[in-house]
Structure 1
């Protein structure tokens, strides 16, 4: 039997590696949050060990009894007084080109957040991961639902196997195997090393000697200096989140604050926060509290939010908006609450162009979007909008509501069936009413109508309706039978009865009746439209968009 005492100590340790921005200050203590430098029991010591030059900060906190002690004492009648001890370790290392931080325990909490390079982890990962050995992907959908998905496989698979959409998804976490990088851990091992890159750090095994660690950092730098990501991962890098405390994000905040002083800027509009998505469709009233003003409105638009802050002092407009609150109610008297008080700032989307770079505010966070990505989105949207449709929609008179327009202008024509407010009750919606669509076209087209005078919120609502319509018809047999029975009742002679491969038509009225084009839609609306098209394709449906004029 082998002698366990003769086992060699490990040569590497799994570590979270952060790259920090260098402002030229030679004092590395400026990278640490001051409260940790001043806290009793914490020490910051310079490091000069072999090739390593840096700073080591360590400490332990004992904040008092664990929060579960009293609960156990109440249950058992016995005294329970146990403490949590939290250890912090952070090594900051300077190379000739960059500054890195190696976090141990809760050490990463000591880093000044504004100094963390938010793109480092993904930037590294997409330049060295094996395309067929990806083990985990976390992404956020940039559409009305605002949801996050995480998928993982034990042995790894091709990046495309995770079903990532080319447009409208932000990859914030990716893990897998790397090969061909001279890391200490690989040591010539053909199996390669496993790494995890996210929008803040890289987690991987790094050398435990000064020489090995420096060699590993230099190998990582060589990968990061490669001009382009691997072809299979290129689309991931086109959308990059910005840290809220970064100089760039704060500069964008300042630019947006200036824009808010103009009333309703052209590239600021309404968007529905993910936490409000479920109740938004059934909301009858919105209570808005901004700049010490309270309004209750039947419909929410950008002007309702932006009007009160336009008269605020420069530098205070955006902060006033973020402190404001929006709450949704299911009744016209604002008594039946269906949401909490959500920051008014999360109800906006904005676009800012600075020196050719495009930035977007979405769900309260700034993103940088590559110019090539936007050009491709615009081309794809243009192609989608050019699809021919047999549906034509009449002009929409000013002052006329959606219901009268559907009934008097569209459904009055031969072959069209009014379905607006003619709900089908289905178990899929827990017995709630389901409006299949607004109208049925002569060839069975499922037509959804929406007025979208400003922002993306009405369009997000429209896109969500279209997806839900097709998903329910495809997967809910009971709902489909009830829908066909409803047609037999209100339009017995209509030929449409087969909805296995339906055509979905989105009839859109933009401000002043301008045509729906890639230029007249917000970029986020374009991305959401493409994502909706992809989802409907997967369900066997065809999507068409028809502009409504005045």
Structure 2
């Protein structure tokens, strides 16, 4: 039957409103299924299945789980059905396009007018199985008929890590945690052990993993008597039974595996950093607590971190402009940006609106001290990092997104960071006294006291870095690259660690960078000479934490620990020693 106005359930009062762009659905790249099974196994069909959360396993709940705006826009058909007695909702239709956009291209190239159109068809079947709701997507537009903000983002991955043979992984997609824009996809059609993909287990988020599983309780394995390909991501892509009873049996078996089976030891790390979907009910409570903390003068749980997209410009920044709506304050112009600057603004925002004001606020980067030469801007919220507990979970805010951090991840990081901090200091830097107001004054003082070469704010301009980068703040007696940072909160250290990586990469692989450094050092008052074929062998991160806090694993945010661990691993892979030195306060 056709239902023109599907009923909706009442949303909770603290429901988070999330903007959805229904005109530009997401696109999934191809996978390896065609290589695995060129023909459809008898009695099955390759299906993308989502498990939906916070959706009642009732007919009314199924209606609430479809994307009503998308359905109304394209006038799709919505029909209530039963699948082996289970409540189901069938949505289907086509999206016609009267004229393809490439018609104009061909007309321009050939002078021949072409007027061709096409239609994209699809369907979604939502099924309530026991206490769970599943959405099965078919065709080009099937999955866009479902409100995927309700999808359990750990579902497909959760089944994969409990089912796939770790030594036959055929495809992996991962994203570097702590930076933006970098996504790696690796394919090995014959399969290989997960270890061979070189995944940084504690610094990357695995968003997709593909391989094979043999489970005789699944229809496809009974049909073929062979292992079947599985793709796990937010969704699960697998051959499911096409008979009603077989479909329900397959969904129940998949749910059993997710609930009762333990992840394979070599794949468990994939579950340790998971993004939290924007409509997760925990976020309303957590963001409410964050909103209250933003009125505090110095909250331990909140820090400042440079967004990944800004790291490439960090050397050019000479000032910042900070605007926070509803703060009652005019735009602030700052030579340095600290968490205290942001909290000064949010303190004047009405209760319950502080976090939203940061999301709408802007931090503008400027290449001059007067704030006239703007480089770009980002949402103020992307600079805030926070680590808040929720029940037994630890939730981490990074660049506007929330992540759940597993216990093993935190334990591993603590052990690694403790080892890094335990290395004895090879250089004793002077205390940061109260009369040294900024990093520039401290670096001048340290250079004079310890006989170091001062290179602070002197830029190496190369063909790869025409805007310039800092080789280091101080050059040690044995050519150590010393990077200095004073940070009120440890999360502000992210760009310091990245700075060390960028400097080493340039000096190892760019001849003009080495030449520029040799000339720069020669021109300093110390008149030192370094080898024209200089290669970095040691990087020292010298850190002073605010309020005289000692530099320990407990004084570093999780994100700062991840950034340090990644920098250490990257530099050691280049044969460069890494040392972290705490600068005492006096």
Answer whether TM exceeds 0.5 for this pair: yes
1:51 is displaced (CA, Å) by 5.5
User: Which one of 196, 201, 212 corresponds to residue 166 of structure 1?
Assistant: 201
1:84 is displaced (CA, Å) by 5.0
**Aligned twin of 2:246:** 212
Structure 1 residues 127 and 63, CA gap change in structure 2 (3 angstroms) = same
Any stretches of 5+ residues in structure 1 without a counterpart? 1-6
1:212 is displaced (CA, Å) by 2.7
User: Which one of 409, 433, 452 corresponds to residue 487 of structure 2?
Assistant: 452
User: Which one of 140, 143, 151 corresponds to residue 108 of structure 1?
Assistant: 143
Structure 1 residues 205 and 466, CA gap change in structure 2 (3 angstroms) = same
Tell me, in whole angstroms, the C-alpha distance in 2 between the residues paired with 1:40 and 1:488.
Answer: 70
SS at match of 2:555: coil
**Aligned twin of 2:510:** 476
User: Which one of 38, 45, 66 corresponds to residue 13 of structure 1?
Assistant: 45
Tell me, in whole angstroms, the C-alpha distance in 1 between the residues paired with 2:110 and 2:356.
Answer: 48
User: Which one of 402, 427, 430 corresponds to residue 463 of structure 2?
Assistant: 427
Tell me, in whole angstroms, the C-alpha distance in 2 between the residues paired with 1:22 and 1:295.
Answer: 42
Considering only aligned residues, what root-mean-square deviation do their CA atoms show, in Å?
Answer: 2.8
When the two structures are superposed, what TM-score results if normalisation uses the length of structure 2?
Answer: 0.84
1:442 is displaced (CA, Å) by 2.6
SS at match of 1:410: helix
User: Which one of 165, 180, 185 corresponds to residue 220 of structure 2?
Assistant: 185
Contact 2:153 2:277 in 1 (8 A): yes
User: Which one of 222, 231, 236 corresponds to residue 256 of structure 2?
Assistant: 222
User: Which one of 24, 43, 62 corresponds to residue 77 of structure 2?
Assistant: 43
**Aligned twin of 1:367:** 403
Contact 1:51 1:214 in 2 (8 A): no
Deviates more, 1:499-508 or 1:242-251: 499-508
Structure 1 residues 413 and 181, CA gap change in structure 2 (3 angstroms) = farther
**Aligned twin of 1:4:** none
SS at match of 1:85: strand
Deviates more, 1:539-548 or 1:258-267: 258-267
When the two structures are superposed, what TM-score results if normalisation uses the length of structure 1?
Answer: 0.89
The answer to whether structure 1 residue 318 and structure 2 residue 355 are counterparts is yes
User: Which one of 546, 561, 565 corresponds to residue 526 of structure 1?
Assistant: 561
Contact 1:501 1:542 in 2 (8 A): no
Structure 1 residues 288 and 415, CA gap change in structure 2 (3 angstroms) = closer
Tell me, in whole angstroms, the C-alpha distance in 1 between the residues paired with 2:80 and 2:115.
Answer: 37
1:63 is displaced (CA, Å) by 6.4
**Aligned twin of 2:11:** none
Contact 1:146 1:273 in 2 (8 A): no
**Aligned twin of 1:401:** 438
**Aligned twin of 2:426:** 390
1:480 is displaced (CA, Å) by 3.0
**Aligned twin of 1:329:** 366
Contact 1:14 1:204 in 2 (8 A): yes
1:30 is displaced (CA, Å) by 2.0
* Residue-by-residue CA offset, 1:92-127 (whole Å, 9 max, x unaligned): 122224221101132222223342111111111111
* Residue-by-residue CA offset, 1:482-523 (whole Å, 9 max, x unaligned): 434544554566688886571211100110222111111111
Aligned residue-pair number: 539
SS at match of 2:173: strand
Deviates more, 1:414-423 or 1:342-351: 414-423
**Aligned twin of 1:278:** 312
Tell me, in whole angstroms, the C-alpha distance in 2 between the residues paired with 1:517 and 1:497.
Answer: 38
1:365 is displaced (CA, Å) by 0.7
